[in-house]
Chain A
Amino acid sequence: MSGEPKQISCAEFQSHLSELIGSGADVSAHPHLQNCALCQALLADLQTIADAARQLFTNVEPPDDLWKQIESAIEKEENEEDKDTH
């Protein structure tokens, strides 16, 4: 991180943001954010999205007939294996 926050533009900061977030560092402590409401908002939104993702997509039930299709496909494979064996 730079000690010269005023010399870092939003574009520069954002160009490094994926690496900063991915590094696990505390991005909120970055000097650029201390005086930039736009990038603060961006970071907060990205964090909100990442947090919300964990609550997404409750598991759903597959169609009832899917097991019959799988059973049938397994049976077909086994029959083919039997033919190859004999």
Chain B
Amino acid sequence: MPQSEVPAHLADPAENESVTPQPPAEPVVRYAPASAPDPAEAEVLARAQAGDHHAFAQLYALHKRRIYSLCLRMVGNIAEAEDMTQEAFLQLHRKIATFRGDSAFSTWLHRLAINVVLMQLRKKGLNLISLDEAMEPTPEEGPGRSFGAPDLRLSGSIDRLALERAVADLPAGYRLIFILHDVEGYEHNEIATMLDCSIGNSKSQLHKARLKLRETLQAQGRTSAKETQS
């Protein structure tokens, strides 16, 4: 497959790479969009569905940041995020012809990437169904202790980097649910379907994840306060 570059009108705005516009291939529309998509992307998508490698490279350029970032958030590890991004786009290449436009392409791809990550995590032995047992907090670090005294209350605004670090340090199961619900915006019923668990389990895991984050942030706050005093 030839090395491909992205026309300027389709390039990710965050990129400053030089681009070489290519003559457009004959569009082959294979799907009926659910809503009005960007016509330029729709054309690229149709060409990619028809097997145009250059168009597929354009789709990669358009979606790579979102998909890579999603993988990175879910696994919390750069090397694994790269592997999973690669697997997600390989899956996309295999399945792109099956996209029928029942949802927006970006939504479909996002869901595909999540499924890839979940599949890889299962292969690695993370049992996503019995997360409760695997991640149950020990009695001394459970919710009963975490509500704490008013002076441990978090400030109205949390340091973004501190929270990102705390999320990265969450146990894998907690992190998945927190990312899917609070960051990516999926509902509990959707998460339950993705993870093959009950809605109640999803709610419970999310709550425990937030409690764990609160505990971590409070501990960071206490450490910072001590350092300031000394």
Interface of A is mostly: helix
A66 CA to B144 CA, complexed, in Å: 45
Residues on the A chain within 8 Å of B144, using CB: 11, 14
- In this assembly, does A71 line the interface, its C-beta being within 8 Å of a C-beta of chain B? yes
- In this assembly, does A49 line the interface, its C-beta being within 8 Å of a C-beta of chain B? yes
Kindly identify, within residues 8 to 30 of chain B, every residue whose CB is under 8 Å from any CB belonging to chain A: 14-15
A55 CA to B89 CA, complexed, in Å: 26
- In this assembly, does B163 line the interface, its C-beta being within 8 Å of a C-beta of chain A? yes
- In this assembly, does B211 line the interface, its C-beta being within 8 Å of a C-beta of chain A? yes
A32 CA to B65 CA, complexed, in Å: 45
Kindly identify, within residues 122 to 164 of chain B, every residue whose CB is under 8 Å from any CB belonging to chain A: 143-144, 146-150, 152-154, 156-158, 160, 163-164
A58 CA to B81 CA, complexed, in Å: 15
- In this assembly, does B110 line the interface, its C-beta being within 8 Å of a C-beta of chain A? no
Interface string of A8-19 (1 = CB under 8 A from B): 001100100111
Among residues of B, the one whose C-beta sits closest to the C-beta of A74 is B93
Interface of B is mostly: helix
Kindly identify, within residues 55 to 83 of chain A, every residue whose CB is under 8 Å from any CB belonging to chain B: 55-63, 66-71, 73-75, 77-78
- Residue tally, chain A, CB below 8 Å to B: 42
Flag if B69 contacts A60 (CB, 8 Å).
yes
Top 3 A-B pairs ranked by shortest CB distance? Answer: A18-B207, A22-B203, A53-B182
Flag if B153 contacts A45 (CB, 8 Å).
yes
| Known interface pairs A56-B183, A62-B85, A67-B57; A38-B147 also in contact (CB < 8 Å) | yes
A49 CA to B144 CA, complexed, in Å: 18
| Known interface pairs A50-B210, A70-B86; A56-B167 also in contact (CB < 8 Å) | yes
Chain A: minimal CB distance from B95 (Å): 13
Flag if B82 contacts A38 (CB, 8 Å).
no
- In this assembly, does B171 line the interface, its C-beta being within 8 Å of a C-beta of chain A? no
Flag if B65 contacts A60 (CB, 8 Å).
yes
- In this assembly, does B66 line the interface, its C-beta being within 8 Å of a C-beta of chain A? yes
Residues on the A chain within 8 Å of B202, using CB: 22
Which of B53, B65, B148, B206 meets A62, CB within 8 Å? B65
Which of A22, A50, A53, A62 meets B82, CB within 8 Å? A62
Which of B3, B73, B93, B154 meets A45, CB within 8 Å? B154
Interface string of A21-39 (1 = CB under 8 A from B): 1100000000000000111
Among residues of A, the one whose C-beta sits closest to the C-beta of B202 is A22
**Most chain A beta carbons < 10 A, residue from B68, B200, B208:** B68
Flag if A56 contacts B163 (CB, 8 Å).
yes
Chain B: minimal CB distance from A18 (Å): 3
Kindly identify, within residues 22 to 73 of chain B, every residue whose CB is under 8 Å from any CB belonging to chain A: 53, 56-57, 60-61, 64-66, 68-69, 72-73
